[in-house]
Structure 1
């Protein structure tokens, strides 16, 4: 068995800094305190601090300029969707806005897939859908369901839809375990998704959009219910 990864001091510091930035303790546009003072405040070395800074610069939360210092970036104005996983870790209420985008993008992808899918795409969709029915356990069904949506995105012939699909799934990875409700029963998950694949296979754009909207609305309701129950519990 592979050993589980352990958090390093850099991991812990990165998380602390990230939370302090997102919570506004280091306001957008402000310069962070000098490195020595900040390192002392967090009880770490300057080397550890520099490693954490590097990660947060790469994530788009900080920007460093020689001779000026390290400034908190206006991530809400300049950031991209790659920030969503860390924003959800900080504040799960982002999930509702992600689901709104999921509904609109998902319906459009299904419509485009119905219009553009090749025989190879349709064959792949049939295989992926069958894997949903055959999957075991909530997590297994959930992952199989995700692969159907990736296949739908590929069937559009537009690589940007594939990237958007990946982005949306990555966005709710931090709370994925709480969103397993629609996937605990493989047969039910299969029946919810089958009309989408059937409409795409039949090249019926209107039916594909309608089926996707129904699927996305129902699974969103189930996932949000599961998330609320976890928060209440």
Structure 2
């Protein structure tokens, strides 16, 4: 069996710098300390530092310009793929993710009602039934996510599918704290059913309204659960 590659100095340095940027030690828009200073701080040479800078620039975390030191640039150049890392460092991002979730989710349901095929409607109903049949909050949560992925596919627009995947990926760092809406399979099924039925009826306005109601209700429950989780964590400290 082939051995897994070991981390290089560049790998470790990239992670350290990424953590510093995402933790706010190098705020968005600010310039990093001079290369010589950083090289001395981390005990590396400037060539190694430049390799790490190059990787961070590719991910959108750094912006490099000729003649100017690198600056933290994720708010200008970063993509949605950074969201899971950002949420891990600051759960405050969840509120902004939920705002996008509401607007995009309602639009996806509306488009799905206009464009879903009979096969996609049948898939949605089967996936909805799986939500009600799921055993345990974790399985219910995952089954619920599959309904939303299917709604995105039913729009016929692959960008909606990628956006849906990105938003779900953004939840991963705090997913366990967002499980409250899924503790009862029957209730989770009943909250989501009006969205699926409106799509099946080809009623785009009803689908948009039902999705908005579903997303607002589950958001409220998840944020309450997240707040309780923080209180328990803070109380344990």
Bin the TM-score by the shorter chain: 0.7 to 0.9
Give the superposition deviation at 1:131. 1.7
- Unpaired stretches in structure 2, ≥5 consecutive residues: 1-5, 233-237
Alignment of 1:20-99 (within 5 A): 20-27=20-27, 28-34=29-35, 37-42=37-42, 52-63=52-63, 71-99=70-98
Distance 1:26 1:150 in 2: 36
Q: Secondary structure at the match of 1:157?
A: coil
Deviations 1:78-116 (A, max 9, x none): 222222222212211111111111111111111111111
Give the superposition deviation at 1:7. 9.3
Distance 2:225 2:166 in 1: 22
Alignment of 1:201-220 (within 5 A): 201-220=200-219
Q: 1:62 to 1:179 in 2, by over 3 A?
A: same
Distance 2:62 2:120 in 1: 42
Q: Does residue 19 in structure 1 map to residue 14 in structure 2?
A: no
Give the superposition deviation at 1:10. 6.7
Alignment of 1:1-233 (within 5 A): 13-27=13-27, 28-34=29-35, 37-42=37-42, 52-63=52-63, 71-233=70-232
Deviations 1:11-52 (A, max 9, x none): 7654432232234433535244326x4244235687875665
Deviations 1:158-208 (A, max 9, x none): 111111111211222211111011111211111111111111111111211
Q: 1:140 to 1:16 in 2, by over 3 A?
A: same
Deviations 1:55-98 (A, max 9, x none): 42332112457x85861242212222222222212211111111
If the length of structure 2 is used for normalisation, what is the TM-score? 0.83
Distance 1:54 1:185 in 2: 47
Counterpart of 1:3 in structure 2 is none
If the length of structure 1 is used for normalisation, what is the TM-score? 0.84
- Unpaired stretches in structure 1, ≥5 consecutive residues: 1-5
Give the superposition deviation at 1:219. 0.4
Q: 1:12 to 1:141 in 2, by over 3 A?
A: farther
Q: Secondary structure at the match of 1:99?
A: helix
Q: Contact (CA 8 Å) 1:153, 1:162: kept in 2 or not?
A: yes
Q: Secondary structure at the match of 1:71?
A: strand
Q: Contact (CA 8 Å) 2:63, 2:73: kept in 1 or not?
A: no
What is the number of residues matched between the two proteins?
Answer: 226
CA RMSD of aligned residues (A): 2.7
Q: Contact (CA 8 Å) 1:141, 1:183: kept in 2 or not?
A: yes
